[in-house]
Amino acid sequence: MKSDPGSYIETRLPLASSHHRWGLLRYTQCGLCEMLRSGLFSLLIILPLLSNAQDHPAGTTVLPFQQDAVTANNEDQIAMQYFQARNFEQAAEIYALIYPKRPTYYTYTYYFFCLVELREYDEARKLIKTQQKTEPDALKYQVDLGYVYFREGNTAKAKKLYDDALKRLPADARQLNELANAFYSKGELDYVISTYKRGRELMPEIHTITFELASAYERTGNFKGAIEEYLSLLTVDRNYEPTVRNILQTLLAQDDDNSKNEIFRKTLLEYIQKAPDRVYYSEMLWWYSVQQKDFELALIQAKALDRRLKEDGNRIMDLANLAVSNGNFDVADEAYNYIIAKGASNAYYEAARRDKLHTGYIRLTGDPGAMTANLGDLQKSMIAELGRWENDPGAVRLALDLAHLDAFYLNSPEAALDLLDRVTGWRGLAEKERADVKMELADIHLYYGDLWTATVLYQQIYRDFKNDATGQEAKFRNARLSYYMGEFPWAKAQLDILKAATAKFISNDALELSMLISNNYDPDSNTVALGIYSRAELADFRNNERLALQTLDSIPMLFKEHPILENVNYRKGEIYVKLGKYALADSMFAIVIRNHPVDIITDEALMNRAVIHETWLADKQGAMALYQELLNTYPGSLFVPEARKRYRTLRGDTIH
């Protein structure tokens, strides 16, 4: 019971009478409740949308509190205008005229709240008694009566009426929801919870009551109670699992201080410990770990489920691939080793061997500090593994990785070209795989300066796959080649077409390069700076970082002021990262931020600085400050979710 009888009704949204409506309210209640807390007026603006309907024509969609509501005439409109203006006295006078003519629940509700706000409690009781005759068994009117006593200050009488209504609740779904809604509209959340608990005792077959009860717990701040309600549904029927996951995903995403996530994780672990035989709890924890990108915990759960359910490793393989895409190579290696240990008879054995090498390739080629000896060892392992798969299309990616390693990192272009020529002759090679081989061949020819052969191959791929992402990628690389060669108008024309590409990563790359050309190319002025910059990018593509840096350094020597200088500093920062010169990289990104605080690459420069301080400079406090700056200064940045997660981790929050 609330203790301040003089206050306005605590404005909480009543629950609708079905799980579908509950779901709608769940996702809108946060913003609405903030608005509703201003008092009764706001509540009643919403109430007409939150009740059940009666006596409307069949097939008509009826919203709450529209029971028996007729089209508003002038009286209705004037009364509502007064009500919205909080002029309850004038509104009550008109409703007093309307109600005898149309004693609907819609009219009753507004008239009732007008009387309560005017403290005309005797009139309110008379109105309840009159309306109650239309629905003698409806318990919601008893709650209204109790609320009148509550507003008078007679909390004992109000409690007695509330308790009696709860005690008299029949095994009737409509009465259950009406009573819960009545308590909700009075802000009596404890009674809402008691109502749904009583309803579940009377009607245990109606499992959706659990959703309503969980929502009530959420509103009281009892998130653990809500979680327990949702988890209990899994015991009732596993078919509820997708619904529960969707609800939890939404709830846990709205958790600025990570408290809900921590409660959920601990509660789930408790359930697993208490009932280890209920596999669905372990599966829920596995799902949650993946959602949180906690791949270490996810792998532990995946292994346990794989053994318990006697799975073939499919879950482990999926997790390994997901870990690779998120840069968690240690977990991926452990997962692949787990599959390989199952032996050659396992369906994923061969794929795990190849994927493990692919992971090693991604890890080493992305590591500025990787030693040539490590790359050489990887090359030997790849050659040995490929020897087991000659003429097998399943090993195409392995062959492409090896060719790229030879050409771009080990200075063995002949070996790379020879390997790819052999692969094109493999039996059973699909046209898409053949295009992938051509794409790598084109890149290698570009790397070693054979621009003509490269552009011919790109054009062939685009011709064969015009409406496919492969063709669009080839078109982008060919446009980039034109950019490298200084053919800026032609390159931009192709890039502008690709901005509408179906593949998001292609359209984004095309947009970025097109904007670079637009911002720095004018046919009526000097385009030397852009030409130098494009040659520097070609040198970087060829892994000649020394030449790329020298070329970039020449631009500010020739141009004291130029729009491209921002890109020069940013590009130098990226190259220094590739070289493992992190302090220099940090200084370049800092210059970009200082000189161009409002630009499309500034938030990315800030994110790069934060990661450098966290990962390579061992500067925890500096990294936290940079992440915080990103969150505060660029709240709409695509990097905000990752920055927030990294900041919390550094702060010591539990992110599991």
What's the pLDDT at 60?
Answer: 36
Region of 222 please: left (phi>0), alpha (psi -120 to 50) or beta. Answer: beta
pLDDT at 25 over 50: no
Question: Predicted confidence band at 556 (pLDDT cuts at 50, 70, 90)?
Answer: very high
Domains of the chain: 1-205 (1.25.40.10)
Highest mean pLDDT among 45-49, 425-429, 537-541: 537-541
Mean pLDDT calculated for residue range 89-99: 94
Name which residue leads in pLDDT, 74 or 555: 555
pLDDT averaged over every residue in the chain:
86
Q: Which amino acid is at 45?
A: I
483-493 confidence digits (pLDDT tens): 999 999 999 99
Which uninterrupted H or E stretch holds 519? helix 504-520
pLDDT for residue 26 is more than 90 = no
- How many other C-beta atoms lie within 10 A of the C-beta of residue 253? 11
Calculate the CA 411 to chain-centre distance: 42
Please, are residues 320 and 331 in contact by the beta-carbon 8 Å criterion?
A: yes
Residue 287: pLDDT band (50, 70, 90) is very high
The whole-number pLDDT of residue 596 equals 84
pLDDT of amino acid 73: 65
H helices of 366-410, where? 372-387, 396-404
pLDDT single digits (tens) 251-262: 888 877 778 888
CB 265 within 8 A of CB 224: no
Backbone angles phi, psi at 563, to 5 degrees: -60, -30
Cα of 341 vs its chain's centroid, Å: 35
- Is the model's pLDDT at 269 over the cut of 80? yes
N-term to C-term CA, the chain: 37
pLDDT at residue 286 is higher than 60: yes
Query: pLDDT tens digit string along 395-414?
Result: 999 999 999 999 999 999 99
Cβ-contact 41, 11 below 8 angstroms: no
Cα–chain-centroid distance for residue 337? 31
CA distances from 380 to 361, 407, 418, 485, 507 (A): 12, 15, 16, 36, 37
Q: Report which secondary-structure segment, H or E, holds 477.
A: helix 469-484
Write out pLDDT tens, residues 586-626: 999 999 999 888 777 899 999 999 999 999 999 999 999 99
pLDDT of residue 525: 61
Highest-scoring range by mean pLDDT, 28-32, 35-39, 365-369, 489-493: 489-493
Say what the pLDDT of residue 69 is. Answer: 43
- pTM for the whole thing? 0.72
Mean pLDDT computed over 235-248: 90
Q: Is the pLDDT of residue 2 over 70?
A: no
